[in-house]
A and B are shown apart, each in its own frame.
Chain A
Amino acid sequence: MFLRNYWYVAASVDEVKAKPFGRIILGEPVVFFRAADGMAVALEDRCPHRRLPLSMGKLVGDDVLQCHYHGLRFDRTGACVRVPGQDMIPPAARVKAYPVIERYKWLWIWMGDPALADPSQICDFHWIDDPNWGAKGDYLHVLANWQLVVDNLLDLTHLAFVHETTIGNAALVEHAAVKVQRGPEHVLVTRWIIDQPAPPTFVKVGKFTGNVDRWQIIDYRPPAFLRLDVGATPTGTGAPEGKRVGGISMRNLNAITPETETTSHYFWAQAHDFDVKNAELTDRIFQQIKLAFLEDVDVFTAQQRLIDLNPAAPTIDINADSGGIQARRIVDRLYAEEQAALTAQRTAAE
């Protein structure tokens, strides 16, 4: 199940160069390259002649992509502009062109109706390139359905078990009050852990010597954008009342793009608002979080393996799943609405 009329992160901007590269997005093959004028281009990665991925080809001139097999050429709009050995270009010789935009060091792609592509709808991830924050990001290829990643990020009780050596500890499960606010197109999960020991990563980065008041505020936007406001201050210094002093505050930023129904592209970054020019610190925080994320990837992969084995195996829900359940309900509703609109369009066209 994919929502199509949304912006997705397709690549980091550094990946997009003159040399074409292919990536499956929402089950569609897409080829990316950077034209001579610096603009990123995304086209269907399938030559309409014999279906070779155009990403195996090369750029000819400023912005023309040549197929590696028989040399058909396509411009940045997807139109075929040359068929070697003949003057006539078949009318159907074209590939789909996708709207793309570079923002927050990521390349965003619109996979739905191009007429609906509104850049103002791109989810805000300004922390990634905001000079008031130190930030570093990465990409993970995940062998699991995208919604397993969303579930994971909306239920942080798993930190106590999957990440006990880094960002988790038992206090997360036994001493938390969780608030789940659900609007028409967002879920906000807020949890405070008051007067409890700091987890290992927080002790390393924040130099805490005593108990802390810790917050995790998870902002979910469909299809799969999760922005986590996390941090801690020495206990009793007023963080729950909005006074964040003497501690650390970070943003964990996540954009998950479905590749197929059972694989995902996971773009993420970690930002911090203290000692922001300290690149060594930025990298140290990034490495700690990456360690934890790789532990998560192992979990997703194992989950997907068992889901594939028996998709109908029953599951249960617990209180901690509340945020993830609300997110899935929003996605289910949006998917039903999108499908209904498509059906109406098809009916009107017939």
Chain B
Amino acid sequence: MPLNFRVELIWQDDNANEAASIYLTSDGRVMLQGRAVSAQERKDLHLPADADMISVDRKLIRAIKDML
């Protein structure tokens, strides 16, 4: 499958620590990298059971604020 134009954004803090990547795809989506929230975590934390959920590092939130 041919590669379409795609942009990966990486944010670094003052100590060159990197946040997880943010991907801008050619079809207009923004994709974030995180860890899937397990069924047990959803139950324990009273989170919605029927949606796809990920937890992300706080550096990624900073990256979103700064870069998007």
Contacts and interface: CB of A to CB of B under 8 A. Distances in A.
Interface in A136-194: 157, 173-184, 194
A179 B16 CA distance: 16
B44 interface: no
Interface string A286-326: 00000000000000000000000000000000011010011
Given A319-B26, A326-B67, A329-B66, A174 B10 contact: no
Given A175-B2, A182-B67, A326-B67, A320 B16 contact: no
A175 B6 CA distance: 9
B4 to A, nearest CB: 7
A177 B7 CA distance: 6
B37 interface: no
B5 A174 contact: yes
Contact of A320 (B4, B5, B66): B5
Given A326-B67, A329-B66, A182 B9 contact: yes
A177 B16 contact: no
Contacts of A325: 67
A183 B8 contact: no
Contacts of B52: none
A175 B7 contact: no
B10 A177 contact: no
Contacts, number: 57
Contacts of A178: 5-8
B24 A183 contact: no
B3 interface: yes
Interface string B1-44: 01111111111111010100000101000000000000000000
Given A184-B14, A319-B24, A319-B26, A177 B8 contact: yes
B59 to A, nearest CB: 12
A323 B14 CA distance: 19
A182 B7 contact: no
Given A175-B3, A319-B26, A180 B12 contact: no
Contact of A180 (B10, B13, B18): B10
A5 to B, nearest CB: 19
A176 to B, nearest CB: 6
B7 A320 contact: yes
Nearest to B24: A319
B24 A182 contact: no
B35 to A, nearest CB: 22
A319 B66 contact: no
A322 B5 contact: no
A322 B10 CA distance: 11
B67 A319 contact: no
Contact of B5 (A176, A179, A180, A326): A176
Nearest to A182: B11
Nearest to A176: B5
Given A175-B3, A180-B9, A320-B5, 7 more contacts: A157-B5, A173-B5, A177-B6, A182-B10, A182-B66, A319-B24, A320-B7
